[in-house]
Structure 1
Amino acid sequence: MKEILNLIDFFEHFDHGDPYMRAAISELQDNMPKELLDKRSDWFITWSQATKRVKT
């Protein structure tokens, strides 16, 4: 049985300085459907709303 990854867990532990983590994200991007990389995709629109939150 395949084990399903939880991307939230992955990104919570992301280390910008770790070359292996950066390489893993590059591989993920290279192998994902191109429509998910469109700035009009649902997930990107949702994600982009984070910058519009009121900071306290």
Structure 2
Amino acid sequence: MLCWIGAAFQITLVHSYISLFTTQPVASVGALGVGLLWSLVFGAGAGAITAGLYNLFGFVERR
């Protein structure tokens, strides 16, 4: 969301980052939607990996 707002104010570093994920114009609502979708996908993936590793190494309890 912050990147999309930055793109609306023509901050150039933000344009490059948003362009990695979509071909939509960077300040468009479509770019916001794609960014939201990828944020959810990557967040869920990172959470699943973290939970899996936590459960995998659960036998190493600190006492």
TM norm structure 2: 0.30
TM norm structure 1: 0.33
